[in-house]
């Protein structure tokens, strides 16, 4: 039985700059990291392996240098890794990304029963939190987002009980397997690779699937398959000379001042 962890390689956004001309992220020379939420997704998959003996596959859709992040997954204990890489996959929005990932899960499921797909809550670059639910929809699997605890997995009854972290409260849910879940940071503390594992992962195979292998209709993937276009990325301009009201001494006046400013700028309507 297989647990699939979807991990994305992202630029270390603490160092990313935006190209003022093209309005796109400058990726050259920027270090890449495993998307932080995905380190928890992978860790949870490895804990299910430790507890229930499942095998773990880590998959990523990205450029060839995403092998870096897949080797990290191998050094942490993933049994196999798949790089989904093809120019035809490039420029994908969340709809096109979830299509390729869902098809990859189906393909892995042809040789081994998939019990769970684990995604991070969201990435630190696109930040949409749409891919996990998109994969579930395409696979027609039930989905649980914002999971912060897996309480039990019963492979005989094909059921799982998990806890979701909602605003101000938790929700305990029972769901049929296979399932797609997205996890939050609180679910676990990711392990570190051991030196022997790190060394042996350097020689372990990385399977690469391009579109010749996946045979996906090109109008449903990449830029062609993406109804959403990111036209421009920019940092909001900081407006100087703000009026500061002393909220502590005279809250009513400060509140009135703020409300007037917001009305003036058509931000709120009273």
Ligand X SMILES: Cc1cc2nc3c(=O)[nH]c(=O)nc-3n(C[C@H](O)[C@H](O)[C@H](O)COP(=O)(O)OP(=O)(O)OC[C@H]3O[C@@H](n4cnc5c(N)ncnc54)[C@H](O)[C@@H]3O)c2cc1C
Residues contributing to the site for ligand X (CB under 6 A): 6-8, 25, 35, 37-38, 41, 60-62, 92-94, 97, 101, 119-120, 122-123, 125-132, 228, 230, 233
75 vs 182, beta carbon nearer ligand X: 182
| Residue 217: strand, helix, or coil | coil
Q: Which is nearer to ligand X, 129 or 197 (CB)?
A: 129
Q: How far is the CB of 16 from ligand X (least distance, A)?
A: 9
What distances in angstroms separate CA 255 from CA 149, 243, 259, one per listed residue?
41, 12, 6
Shortest spacing between CB 43 and ligand X, in angstroms = 12
Q: Which residue is nearest to ligand X (CB)?
A: 126
Q: How far is the CB of 171 from ligand X (least distance, A)?
A: 20
236 to each of 60, 121, 208, 261, how far by Cα in Å? 31, 25, 39, 19
Task: Rank residues 73 and 115 by Cβ distance to ligand X and give the closer one.
Answer: 73
Q: Which is nearer to ligand X, 61 or 78 (CB)?
A: 61
Q: Other C-beta atoms within 10 Å of 263: how many?
A: 12
Q: Which ranges in the chain belong to alpha helices (H)? A: 36-52, 67-76, 94-109, 131-139, 195-201, 211-214, 251-264
Q: Give least dist CB 53 to ligand X, A.
A: 23
Helix, strand or coil, per DSSP, at residue 196:
helix
């Amino acid at each position: 039985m297989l647990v699939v962890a979807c991990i994305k390689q992202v630029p270390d956004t603490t160092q990313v700059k935006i190209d003022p001309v093209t309005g796109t992220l400058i990726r050259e020379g920027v270090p890449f990291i495993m998307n932080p939420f995905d380190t928890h997704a992978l860790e949870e998959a490895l804990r299910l392996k430790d507890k229930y003996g499942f095998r773990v596959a880590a998959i990523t859709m990205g450029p060839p240098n995403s092998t870096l992040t897949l080797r990290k997954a191998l050094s942490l204990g993933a049994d196999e890794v798949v790089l989904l890489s093809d120019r035809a996959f490039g420029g994908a929005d969340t709809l096109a990304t979830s299509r390729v990932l869902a098809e990859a899960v189906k393909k892995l499921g042809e040789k081994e029963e998939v019990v769970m797909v684990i995604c991070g809550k969201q990435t630190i670059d696109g930040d949409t939190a749409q891919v996990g639910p998109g994969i579930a929809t395409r696979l027609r699997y039930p989905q649980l987002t914002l999971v912060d605890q897996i309480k039990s997995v019963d492979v005989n009854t094909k059921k799982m009980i998990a806890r979701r972290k909602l605003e101000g409260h938790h929700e305990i849910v029972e769901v049929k397997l296979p399932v797609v879940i997205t996890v939050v940071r609180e679910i676990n503390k990711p392990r570190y690779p051991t030196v022997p594992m790190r060394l042996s992962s350097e020689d372990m195979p990385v399977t690469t699937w391009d579109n010749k292998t996946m045979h996906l209709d090109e109008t449903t993937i990449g830029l062609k398959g993406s109804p959403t276009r990111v036209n421009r990325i920019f940092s909001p301009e900081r407006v100087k000379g703000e009026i500061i009201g002393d909220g502590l001494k005279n809250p009513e006046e400060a509140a009135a001042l703020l409300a007037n400013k917001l009305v003036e700028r058509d931000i709120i309507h009273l």
